[in-house]
Amino acid sequence: MRARILPACFAIIAGAVLLTSCDSSPHAGGCSVSVASSDLVGLRQQAGIPDCTPGSLAVDAKAPAASMPATSLGCLGSKQRVALSDIKGPAIVNFWSSSCGPCRQEMPALAAFAKQYAGRVSVVGVDYLDTIPSAGLLLAKQSDVHYPLLADPCGDLEQSSLKPPGVMPFFYFVKADGSISGPTMGGLDSVKQIADLAQQHGIGLSSHQAAGATP
C-alpha cells in the first residue's frame, strides 16, 4: 500500500511546485521543437496573434534597436525568425511558459495592458523553455493576447549574453534609446501593476487615459 501511495504524493507535490514557481533550467541537449507547423500557424491566425514583423516589434520604426542578443528566435506559430535585438523601445518583453502557473495568471493582465497602451509601448512575449508550443498558443488565445510571440523552446538564449533568471515569469524593459532594464520578476495581476513597474524601469507612459482604455 505504501509503495503505491508515495508516487502519487510526489506527483501532487510536483504539480504544486509547478504552479507556484516555474524553473527555467535549460533542457538537455538534442532538443528539437518546431514552432512553425501548419497547425500552429493556423492556430495563431485564428487567435488573431500578429506575425513577428518589424512593425509588430516597435511603436517607432526609427528608434534604436534594443541592446539585446542577436540570437535568432522563431515566431510562435509562424515561419518568421527574429532576434530580441530587433525589438525597439519603448517595449516590454515578457518571458513565460504555458506550464507556469504565475505566467498563466499574469497573461490576461498583460494582454489588457497591451491593448490599453497600444501605440505607446510595444509588448512582446517569449514562450521560453516550452516544449509544447500548441499549449502556449492556446493559453495566449484564452488570454486574449494580440501582441507578437517569440519562442525559445530549447533555451538558446541560455548561451547568450542575456542570462535569464532561474524562474518565470520575468520582464525586460527596452527604453526609447534602446537600453534595457531587467530582468525583473513578474507574477502581476493587473494593468496598474504592470504600468507602475514599466514606469519604474524607464518606460514612459502617458498620464492621460490611453487609447482603448476602459473608464
pLDDT in tens, 51-89: 999 889 999 989 999 999 999 999 999 999 999 999 999
**3-state secondary structure string, the chain?**
CHHHHHHHHHHHHHHHHHHHCEECCCCCCCCCCCCCCHHHHHHHHHHCCCCCCHHHHCCCCCCCECCCCCCEEEECCCCCEEEHHHCECCEEEEEECCCCHHHHHHHHHHHHHHHHCCCCCEEEEEEECCCCHHHHHHHHHHCCCCCCEEEECCCHHHHCCCCCCCEECEEEEECCCCCEEEEEECCCCCHHHHHHHHHHCCCCCCCCCCCCCCC
Of residues 132 and 31, more confidence is placed in 132
| pTM value > 0.85 | no
- At 4, the pLDDT band (50, 70, 90 cuts) reads very low
Residue 47 has pLDDT above 50, yes or no: yes
